Amino acid sequence: MLIDKKDRAELKKLFEEILSNSATYKHIEGVNPCLIYLDGVEYYIYIKNLSPAQLSNNNPDIWRIQLPIRDIFEQIKESPIPFILLGYDTYNDVYTTWNPHWAKQRLNVAKSVSFYSRLSVQENAHTTGQIQRYELNNDGEVLAFPREKISFFLVNLDVFFPDMSEYVAMGSRKRTEANEAYRILTNPKNITDFAHYLALSGIMDKSIRNYCLAIKNLINSGLFSHNRKIFLAYDSVDEYPKAIQHFLKVPVIKEMDESNQYIYSSALQKYIDFIVVISNFNPTVSTIVLENEPLEYAKTNDVFDFFCNTDNLYFFREYLEKRELSESSVNAYTNAISRLINKGYIHRYRDIFIIFSRIKDYFVAIENFISIPEISELNYNWKYVFSSALNHYVRFLIDWQDIYNNSDLTKLETINYTEEPQRELVSASQEHGVEESSENTDLEEMFTDEEGKLTRIANPTLIDLLRPCLDTEYKSTACAFNIIEDFYDDRFPSMQMKDWQKLFDKIDWINPFYSHDELSEPEGKKKSHILRVKFPDGTIIQERIVAKTLVEVIRSANPEQIASLNIYLAGVNLVSKELSEKYEKNQVPIQDGYYVMTLSDTPRKYKILKTISDALDLNLSVDFISIDDSEQTQAKPLQYLIPGQSRAKIRVTFPNGRVTQEGRVSNTLVDVIKYAGAEKVRELNISINNDNLVTNKLTPTYESSLKPVGADLFVHTNSSTQTKFAQIQQISDELILGLKLELI
């Protein structure tokens, strides 16, 4: 069955098509997810396309949706507002949904979380026009109903999920102690400290691994969630030994415990002891310290030292070359491991690794390591190079030990991880000659056509992931589809299975990697070049950041006409009034509600500007201009007049009517920068203290006056009220925020 997947705007339109008939409906914010108001109640709504699960049993009746990790889910997770997760079956025009509390609890617990349904249930809902309920074994139940019944479902939510009214939402003033105890119980971040706790208690490594996996499974699978009433009956973790007695008698838990030789009951006993300990500790302390622990606990072991020995990297490179990986992949993976060790990432989270005494168990450690937010973000930004490199590296170390029978690992010299690496890591994209962070480009964007479809699989990390499935005598297309789904999630919604199959067939496994020589680009494809655009009247636009040049040209021309040209970047129109869920950060607002998509490299921007000029007869002169690196990074001086009034406060009125007038003027500045977006303000290069107003450096001289504004960025606040007034005015004018400023 071909699946007609809708994009997030279409899914929202179909949803509102029904709800707009209700006089009590109001859309508050967001596209998908969005916050709505219906019949006196607020709801967070998130809709995903349902599709066949493609599991190993090839059961066509099993369908699912998958949720990626997203920042906004943390906000939703902590909110008391109900979270309604909807799967949409386009063929039957049917929604499926799951217990709202259970769905909320599973947000961001893993890179991709699956929610299952049944095609037969969806078809019954379509045929009968009635709400259908289906039990999903350990996954609770799923409801399916025709789209036109969404209002009826939301208004009667407590009827369909009665335990919603019995659950005390986290953060509620009612029974806060019970909620806090339950939050501690189900916090997946406990697992690392739990392993450390077990190690210090003298538990054997194999048992530590089994106990940690058991608790992780109880949290992530929703088994705690489905039985939360057992735990919410108690006001503190000190009473949880009573709770687990009841929990272990639940038939599903009892059967699972017995079939796993009572691992779960043993793990729970230890885990409850552990959370009783940590609930009495200062929450700022991240490492568990027992009273009988030596003051200087050596957080390393022989295997960990072997893992961190950079002498291995020479042989690791040879290992990769013998596996016939491309030179670019060999360089990327070798440098990835070098960076993780030499920059201190591995040592910073050593507790994740040292609980294992065998290299082959480090695959589990890698999974936990990559799930750490800091590492996960790093891995995502570098196109999953780090996770791929770590898996290759552990396989190599296993073979290395076997070949050399290296039993005395203590003789291996350990690395001083504070030293700088000899060569800075470059991402797989950079290895192939593609501009990276300054222009926010990637290989996928270079091979995306005007319909938003990928025309070639060029990402070297993805190619390495697909090789075991496709570069073999017995190909596993289903395995390849699953890898694609996890790797790209919803990035290419217009791609059907047949489209992916064509791309699989086009991969030349002898030489699968893209070389920049394959595409003819204008001269100047270097980071040392920017663009100069000259208008017929002599006006010149030449910004240090090429994206700003593109934006200013479009702002000066006719955005509406340019939008009608349908120039697409990564499936998003160059000029649009809609924000992309995935590429919102790359869309710059201009006048009349339009946004400009900037996700492209400099040569692509060159071609876009030439296309716009030719199509609209603008007669623009577009040229590559060589620039000096020092000038390129120099921040602009403050160019706005500083008012003369002293000892005043700043009042800022936002376009929506909100007013901020903080007691401390520095807080007003921080509020405005958060509203504008710290990254966008940083791009303005407003100079202060020989630095950017928004900086990523915590210098000791200004540490007390640097205020965080998110994404590891800080704002300099050690300036006068009048200077802050001028800074806010410049931010408002250059980003077209429409702020009204007053000194009072």
Q: What digits encode the pLDDT tens for the residues 502-544?
A: 898 888 776 676 644 343 333 333 345 788 888 877 778 888 7
Q: How are the residues of the chain apportioned to helix, strand and coil, as percentages rounded to the nearest 5?
A: 45, 15, 40
Task: Provide the b/e sequence for 238-269 (b: ≥16 CB within 10 Å).
Answer: eebeebbeebbeeeebeebbeeeeebbbbbbe
Report d(CA 485, CA 613) in Å as an integer: 38
Q: What is the mean pLDDT of residues 456-469?
A: 78
Asked if 50 and 88 touch (Cβ cutoff 8 Å), the reply is: yes
The confidence score (pLDDT) of residue 280 equals 57
The backbone torsions φ and ψ at residue 738, rounded to the nearest 5 degrees and listed phi first, read 70, 35
Domain spans in the chain, listed from the N-terminal domain onward: 8-166, 176-278, 302-426, 443-515, 529-632, 650-743
Q: Are 714 and 708 in contact (CB under 8 A)?
A: yes
Predicted confidence at residue 425, as pLDDT, reads 39
Q: What is the mean pLDDT of the chain?
A: 76
Radius of gyration of the chain (CA): 28
Q: Measure the CA–CA gap between 460 and 219, rounded to whole angstroms.
A: 34
Instruction: Identify the residue whose tokens are 């838990």.
Output: 253
How many angstroms separate the CA atoms of 350 and 347, rounded?
Answer: 5
Are 181 and 336 in contact by the 8 Å Cβ rule? The answer is: no
Write the CB contacts of 462 (distance below 8 Å, at least 6 apart in sequence).
Answer: 384, 483, 484, 487
Q: Looking at residue 402, what is its pLDDT? A: 56
Opening angle at CA 208, ends 205 and 212, nearest 5: 145
| Cβ atoms of residues 120 and 153 within 8 Å | no
Q: Which CATH number is associated with domain 650-743?
A: 1.20.1380
Task: Give one DSSP letter per residue of 266-320, joined into a string.
Answer: HHHHHHHHHHHHHTTS-TT--S---TTS-SS-----HHHHHHT-TTHHHHHHHHH
Over residues 624-649, the pLDDT tens digits come to 777 653 344 344 444 454 454 444 68
Cβ neighbourhood burial of 498 (10 Å; 0-12, 13-18, 19+): exposed
Q: Which residue has the higher pLDDT, 439 or 2?
A: 2
Say how many CA atoms lie within 13 Å of 135 toward its Cβ.
Answer: 3
Averaged over 122-136, what is the pLDDT? 91
CB 539 within 8 A of CB 593: no
CA angle 97, 490, 9 (to 5 degrees): 70
pLDDT of the residue at 420: 32
Compute the C-alpha angle 190/192/195, nearest 5°.
105
Match domain 8-166 to its CATH number in 3.40.1350, 2.60.40, 1.10.12, 3.30.70: 3.40.1350
How confident is the model over 680-733, as pLDDT tens digits? 999 888 877 667 889 887 766 566 678 888 878 888 887 777 778 888 988 888
| Residue scoring higher pLDDT (174 or 94) | 94
Tokens 């508050």, residue located: 28
**197 has pLDDT over 60:** yes
Within 405-476, residue ranges assigned H as helices are 428-431, 443-446, 460-470
Per residue in 244-278, pLDDT tens?
888 998 888 998 888 888 889 889 988 998 888 77
The interaxial angle of helices 460-470 and 477-488, nearest 10 deg, is 160
Amino acid at 343: K
- Angle of helix 385-404 relative to helix 362-370, nearest 10 degrees? 160
Q: How far is CA 141 from CA 85, 88, 98, 125, in A?
A: 13, 16, 6, 15
Catalogue the long-range contacts made by 223-230 (C-beta closer than 8 Å, 24 or more residues apart).
223/138, 223/252, 223/253, 224/185, 224/186, 225/99, 225/101, 225/102, 225/105, 225/106, 225/186, 226/102, 226/138, 226/140, 227/253, 228/101, 228/167, 228/182, 229/163, 229/166, 229/167
Confidence check: pLDDT of 391 > 70 = yes
Q: What is the pTM of this model?
A: 0.33
In this structure, the number of other CB atoms found within 10 A of the CB of residue 118 comes to: 19
pLDDT digits (tens, 9 = 90+) for 569-627: 777 889 999 888 777 767 888 877 888 988 777 777 888 998 898 888 888 888 877 76
Would the CATH topology of 8-166 be identical to that of 650-743?
no
Res 630: pLDDT: 32
Taking alpha carbons only, the member of 698, 687, 696, 675 closest to residue 726 is 687
Question: Which DSSP state fits 569?
Answer: E
Task: Say if residue 105's pLDDT is above 80.
Answer: no
Average pLDDT over residues 284-302: 40
Q: What is the DSSP string of 307-336?
A: HT-TTHHHHHHHHHHHTT--HHHHHHHHHH
User: What's the pLDDT score for residue 95?
Assistant: 96
Q: Spell out the alpha helix ranges (H) of 441-582.
A: 443-446, 460-470, 477-488, 497-506, 546-556, 559-564
**What is each CA distance from 532 to 33, 434, 527, 616, in whole angstroms?**
39, 21, 14, 19
CA 263 to each of CA 214, 449, 535: distance values in angstroms, whole numbers, following the listed order:
7, 52, 73
In angstroms, the CA 132 to CA 124 distance is 7
Structure tokens at 159: 């009827």
Q: For residues 287-303, b (16+ Cβ closer than 10 Å) or e, as one string?
A: ebeeeeeeeeeeeebeb
Element (DSSP H or E) covering residue 43? strand 41-49
Coil, helix or strand at residue 706: strand
What is the rounded distance in angstroms from the CA atom of residue 481 to the CA atom of residue 479?
5
Span 47-59, average pLDDT? 80
C-alpha dihedral over 711, 713, 717, 718, to 10 degrees?
160
